Every structure is written in structure tokens, then in C-alpha cells.
Structure 1
């Protein structure tokens, strides 16, 4: 009521009209419900009535805005409180999960297979349709790199081989989810503790070993054995052998010069006609 009275005084409305409004308890909230004809009984001036109606609308709008701001503030505080509570619950749940996992003897891990591509000179993951894919297994949390390697080779090289060839043809290693070589001394449990991951992923890596690149065909080996026996037991028979046969043996031996069996063999003593 006080704001309305001050507004009427600024409009130079007579004290008698202001007193009448006070006696009738007509304040801004009541005026907002009145029609122009009803207010005319108390305010004969048309300009005063328009001004009073405008004052009451602005006051009501301001009041609604203040209420809205208070409501918005309360909702924001409630939302923050709920988020804090949710975050706290998530942290508690995470801590509980870690504690529960710490008591487990076995942990679940994922194992994939990456094979070295000679053309691009990078390791590429082998898809499931080619015998790779990702396998999930339970393993003792005290298991180390050698234990995981043993499991991985058994998974991807059943019976000692797969479509890439026998396991003995490859140099094998183990990488983690970041494709870094796994430390020999770390256990699965320690890796879980350090990384804080929900599940660990490892990759068996394979690369053709050097001996595979120089593998000697069986037929060549037979010729080498024959040549070795000839040179060792009956060197004089060299002259009676056909030149074509000796030339074939010599070429076969040159293909396999890295073999230890050729260390004692020299071709300088062979006849030039060969």
C-alpha cells in the first residue's frame, strides 16, 4: 500500500482520495482486479486511473519476476545438490567396486592378436574371421607376462599353428592397450591397480622370425647331405659324378650358405670344368 500512496502523492492526488482508498483497503492488488468504471468512483481523473493501472501492472510484473528468480535459484541449488550427491554415490560405488575386485583371486581380461605386416611394416590386428578377434578370459591376478603369453598363444595358435603358419615360425611378444610392451615383472592385479581400468586388454604380437626367411627346402637339404657325404668319405668319386648333378648341388649349397653344415665345404677344390 505504501508504494501506491507514494505514487499517488507524486501524481498530486488529493489527500482526501488517498485517505478514502486507505479506508476502503484498496491497494495495488485490488486495483488490478477493478475495471475502469469501478476505479472511477475513487479516482475521477482519467489520467490518474491510467497511471495507477500502469503502476499496478509494472508492480505485478516485477513481483512475478522476483518470484521466478527465487524459484529458479532454488531449482539450481537443488540440482547442484543432486549432482553432488550423485557424484558422491558414484565415487562410493567405484570405491566399493575396486575393493570388491581387490578381494577377487581371478580377474577378467581381453586378449587380441596383432600380426606384423611386411608390406606396411606395422602391426595390424587380426580379425575374427581370420582366427583373431578379441577373447575374454578369466586369469589369476598374480599372472605375469609369460602366463598371459602362454594363454594367448594357446588361443590363437591351437595345436601349435594357424593359417599364418606354425608358432615356431614367429617371434612373439605381448603389448598392452596402448600397444606398449608389457613389463615382465608386473602382475595383472598390479596393472589393474595402476591403470584403474574396468577391464585390461592385451595383444599377442607375432612377427616372422629370421630363420623362417631362410628356411631350406627339404629337397635342397637332401642334396646337401649327399654332397657332404661325398666330400667326406669318397672325395675321389667327385670326378666320376656327372657335371650337371654337381652343378645342381653347388647351386643348392650357395642358396643355403648360412647353414652350419656348409662351414667345412669349399668349392675352390672342385674341377673348373664343373
Structure 2
């Protein structure tokens, strides 16, 4: 089973895996194969021996060019679809990206790639009012390098099991009195009182709460957080191969 949908930054949706009777924008054969990250491993040489000690996989960003097939609606020219499609990509930002959503046999489906234009869109070769079909190549960048699951949540005592391929760094969403948070290691920190809804990201690259400890759940592992009343843990799983 495979269903692939593009959702642009303007909210337009096109079923890339459909037929030209279902969608004005399609993915040509082989186009989606390039949605995969560059992978390296932190291998160590075996002292005095042959081979290596296999290390952890590291996923780089996805930087590729996606080609889309555009077809006019029955009785219309291509201009409207072409303009809306380009505008949807041009409007994409890291806070409001274009999304390719994949429903497959993967148990974590649907999984999504978040994409922005890598550079600029190509120029237009012809007046699209004269065409009924065309292709458009879009240079894209996925900074995460992996597809994301839907957001998972939990309150009070929360168990996070990482079925994905990258570390999970949860977020804490809360409002009100705050209270003590217990991390998987047993380390504790306190959420201060918050009059408005507040999000604490436990990723060390963005963690900004004094006394808070950044802890993650590695692939294949499990971690347990204990939260105060009024707090919710949120996390997503990152998957390198969302197709199976």
C-alpha cells in the first residue's frame, strides 16, 4: 500500500501517487527514490586486526531535486495550477514547510518529510496558458534528513519507546504552577510557574531553562519521564525509510 500526498505551504494538497484523473500534480516514475539522506557511520578500526567496530549511523540532510508532472484540469489551461504550485513552494519556510506525507506498510505511517526550496525555483520556459501539461523541477532541502511520525503525547508518567532511527528529544508543554520533572536518568528539574502555555524543548541545541537536563531516547531504547500536573510530554519518531 502506498499513498503519497504533497501539502504545500499554502495548504494545497495533491496526491502524487494518484492518476491524472485524480490529481493535477503527480510524481513521475522514480522521482521519490531520491528522498533519502546521506548516511555515515562512526566506525572504529580494530586495533591490530582487520575490519572495524561498527558505529552508530548518522543521517545528513536530504538535498535533491524533485520533478513534478503538472496537468491542467479538464477544459482549463495549465496556468492556474502552475502558478498555485510555484507559489506554494515559494512560500515554504522552516516554520511552515511543504510536506510530503507517506502512507505505506510502515507501522508508523503516516510519515512526513518537511521540505523547503533549496535556493530558488527555476525560471518558466513558456506561457503556461499554451500548455495542458508540463514538468517542474524543484530543488528541495530536508534539514532533518528523516521522515517524522505524527506527534505522540503523554501526561504524568510517560514511557517513550523509540522505534525510529534517530534520537528522540521530547518537548514539555505546560501552563500553570509547573513543578518537578524527573528524567529517565533520575535527574530532576523544576518547571517554573507559567501564566501562558509554554514549551520546553529538551534538545540541547535549543534548551533554554536553567537547571533543566537534556536527555534523549536512542533508537531501540526506552525512557520514562515523570511530569507534574498540567504538563504534557510531546515527541516524534524519525524514520530513514518511510516506504516499508
Larger relative CO (CA 8 A, sep 6+): 1 or 2?
2
TM-score (norm 1): 0.27
TM-score (norm 2): 0.29
Q: Which has the higher strand share?
A: 2
Q: Which has the higher helix share?
A: 1
Rg comparison, structure with higher value = 1
